[in-house]
Amino acid sequence: MKILLSLLFCIPFILLAQTEQDTTSVNQKYSMLYKKRVLENIEIDLLGSFYTQDGSNAAVTGGVGTEELKDLASNLNISIPLNDDDVLTIDATISAYSSASSSNLNPFLGTEYDDDDERRIGTITGGTPWVASSGASKEDVWKSGVLGFSHSSDDRNKIYTTNLSFAKEYDYTSFGVGLGFTKLFNQKNTELGISANVYFDTWQPEYPIELKNYMNTIGKLNTGIFSGIDILNASGNPIDKNSLTVWKPFNNKLIDDEKRNTYSLSLSFSQILSKNLQVSIFADFVIQQGWLANPMQRVYFSDVDNFYIGNAANIINYTNPINTDVFQLADDIERLPDSRSKVPIGMRFNYFISENFVLNTYYRYYFDDWGINSHTLNIEVPIKISETLTLYPTYRFYNQTASNYFAPFEQNLSTEKYYTSDYDLSKFNSNQFGFGIKYTDIFTQNHLWLLGLKNVSLNYNYYKRNSGLEAHIISLGVKFIIE
C-alpha cells in the first residue's frame, strides 16, 4: 500500500524528465494557428435505468428482514459549447424508489398518526421485518442537479473545471462545489489532473417509529402508538408498562449533529504507452465529518432484554420469513464515529487489441479508518461486430472486509461506543456479470426534430453477494447532438 502511495507521489517528478521533450515551439505555433473547438456541437445524453434488489439483511430492521427495493431513475446531461474554449454542462437526475426495508421505519400495519406522531388514529394489526409496510417511508424521490463549466487553454494543454451540485431527498439535502485542473504534457501523451470537491450535507432525520414515539411521549408507554397495545417480553407475555422492566431505548438522545460534510481531493495521471495502449492511475483522499450513521437503521443488542409487539407465537420465528405478524422494538439506532477517512486508489489499463476487440481493465484498492479494506476488479471487452454495433461483455469482482463496528442482528453489545448491523458494512464479496450493446449512427443520419442521433446503448447487469443480496439493473442510454 505504501508503495502504491509512493508511486503516486513520484509521478509528477518522473514526468519532469519527460516534459523536456514536450511540445516543441513548432507544435505550439501550430496549435495557436489552428484551434479546434473543444466541443463541436451541443451534446445531449438521456439515460434511464431500472434497478431491483432483494435480500434478507435489511439495515432498517437491524440486519434481518426483506431488502426488496425497486428504483426507476432518469438522467439528462447536456454539454453546450459556449465558444471555442468553454463548455457548460448541465446534469439533472431523478431517482424514484420504493423500498420494503425503508417502509419498515414504521412496520405496524394500520397505524396512522396526527402531525405530531402522538395520536394513533388506526389500530395496530401487526408488524414484521419480512413484509413491506404501507408507511410513507416506503418510497422516496432523490433529485440531483450539477452545473459544470470547463475552460481549455489555446494550446489545449490546460483544462480548468468547476462545478456546483445540489441533491435532495426526503430526509437528506446536499450542496457541493468542486474545482479541477488538468495539465497535458508530452504531445498530449501524458495527463496530470487534480481536483477538489466539498459537500455540505444535512440530515432531516427520520427515526424508527417506536423510538420517535418514545422520545415524543417522554417514555410514556400508555400513549402514542403504544396506547392500548401489549408490549411482549421474550417469553411472549405482556409486560406491565408501569414496571421497572419495561422496554426503553438504550439512548435518550437520537441524532445530535444533523450535518455531514465531505472533503475530497483527487489526483489522476494517465499515459499513452503506445498507439494501442494507455494507462491511468488515480487516487482520492476523502474526509467525512458529522453524522455518518443512518438514523433510520435499528440496532438490537445481545446483552439487553428483547420486547415485541404482535403475535407472541411467532417470536420464535422472528428471523424467519414465515414471521408475518410480530416486530421487535429497537434498542437503538446505529451509532458510528463522526469522522471517516477514505483512500481509494485505482488503475485503468486499456488495450486496443484489434479493429474488433478492445480490452478495458480497472482495479481499485480501498481502505478507510473504519476498518474496511476492499479490492475491485472490472474487465470489459468491447467487441465491434460492425462499424455501427458494439457488444460489451463485462465482469466485475468486489470484496471488502467488515467495518470495525459491524455485527449481525442481536450480536452488537450495548457496552460498545459504536455499532451497526448494516450489511453494506459487513464482510462480503460480490460478482457482477453484465452485457451491453451500442448502436452508433456514424453520420448522424437519424433525426428527431433538431436532434441528430449519435448512439443508443442498452446494458444489463446481474449482481450477487455471497451474503445473499441479489440485484439486477438495466439501463437505456441515447445520445443526441444538435449540429
Partner 1 sequence: MKNKIIIIFVLSLFLSSCVAVKEYEKVNINDPDMSLSDRKSKKFETSFHVYREGASGVNGGKSGGGCGCN
Whole-Å CA distances, 472 to 63, 313, 332, 345, 483: 21, 36, 32, 27, 36
Neighbours of 237 (CB within 10 A): 9
Residues 393-432 that bind partner 1 (CB under 8 A): 398, 400, 403, 422, 424-425, 430
- The reply on whether position 87 binds partner 1 by CB under 8 A is no
Q: Are 261 and 286 in contact (CB under 8 A)?
A: no
Q: Which three cell numbers stand for residue 391?
A: 457488444
- The reply on whether position 88 binds partner 1 by CB under 8 A is no
Q: Which three cell numbers stand for residue 97?
A: 424508489
Q: Are 254 and 297 in contact (CB under 8 A)?
A: no
- The reply on whether position 17 binds partner 1 by CB under 8 A is yes
Question: Based on CB atoms, which residue is closest to partner 1, 111 or 403?
Answer: 403
Question: Based on CB atoms, which residue is closest to partner 1, 16 or 322?
Answer: 16
Question: Based on CB atoms, which residue is closest to partner 1, 63 or 477?
Answer: 477
Question: Based on CB atoms, which residue is closest to partner 1, 220 or 464?
Answer: 464
Residues 190-229 that bind partner 1 (CB under 8 A): 197-199, 201, 203
Q: How far is the CB of 441 from partner 1 (least distance, A)?
A: 13
Sign of CA dihedral 52, 56, 58, 59: negative
Maximal C-alpha separation, the chain: 90
Residues in the chain: 483
Among 126, 208, 382, 452, binds partner 1 (CB under 8 A): 382
Q: Are 58 and 50 in contact (CB under 8 A)?
A: no
Q: Could you give the 3-state DSSP secondary structure of residue 209?
A: helix
Specify the stretch interacting with partner 1 by CB under 8 A; choose among 212-220, 326-334, 382-390, 444-452.
Answer: 382-390
Gap between the Cα atoms of 224 and 444, Å rounded: 63
Question: Left if phi > 0, otherwise alpha if psi is -120 to 50, otherwise beta: which for 273?
Answer: alpha
Whole-Å CA distances, 39 to 78, 117, 159, 454: 12, 54, 13, 14
Question: Based on CB atoms, which residue is closest to partner 1, 6 or 25?
Answer: 6
Among 149, 160, 250, 352, binds partner 1 (CB under 8 A): 352
Residues 356-375 that bind partner 1 (CB under 8 A): 358, 360, 362, 364, 366, 368, 370, 372, 374
Among 41, 89, 186, 216, binds partner 1 (CB under 8 A): 186
Question: Based on CB atoms, which residue is closest to partner 1, 94 or 246?
Answer: 94
Residues 94-123 that bind partner 1 (CB under 8 A): 95
Instruction: Give the residue from 400, 356, 354, 404 showing the smallest Cα distance to 377.
Output: 400
R_g (Cα) of the chain, nearest Å: 27
244-283 footprint of partner 1 as x/- string (CB under 8 A) = ----------------xxx-x-x---xxxxxxx-x-x-xx
Whole-Å CA distances, 154 to 16, 22, 85, 87, 280: 22, 16, 7, 14, 25
Q: How far is the CB of 62 from partner 1 (least distance, A)?
A: 17
Question: Based on CB atoms, which residue is closest to partner 1, 221 or 283?
Answer: 283
Gap between the Cα atoms of 124 and 100, Å rounded: 18
Neighbours of 222 (CB within 10 A): 11
Question: Based on CB atoms, which residue is closest to partner 1, 92 or 304?
Answer: 92
Q: Could you give the 3-state DSSP secondary structure of residue 315?
A: helix
**CA contacts within 13 A on the Cβ side of 49:** 20
- The reply on whether position 66 binds partner 1 by CB under 8 A is no
* Cα-based torsion angle of the residue sequence 218, 220, 226, 232 in order, rounded to the nearest 10 degrees: 120
307-346 footprint of partner 1 as x/- string (CB under 8 A) = ---------------------------------x-x-xxx
Question: Based on CB atoms, which residue is closest to partner 1, 171 or 325?
Answer: 171
Q: How far is the CB of 463 from partner 1 (least distance, A)?
A: 8
Question: Based on CB atoms, which residue is closest to partner 1, 6 or 243?
Answer: 6
Question: Based on CB atoms, which residue is closest to partner 1, 176 or 208?
Answer: 176
Residues 447-466 that bind partner 1 (CB under 8 A): 457, 459, 461, 463
Q: How far is the CB of 457 from partner 1 (least distance, A)?
A: 5
Q: How far is the CB of 297 from partner 1 (least distance, A)?
A: 11
Among 10, 82, 316, 413, binds partner 1 (CB under 8 A): 10
* Partner residues linked to 192 by β-bridges: 183, 269
Q: How far is the CB of 462 from partner 1 (least distance, A)?
A: 11
Q: Are 421 and 62 in contact (CB under 8 A)?
A: yes
- The reply on whether position 467 binds partner 1 by CB under 8 A is no
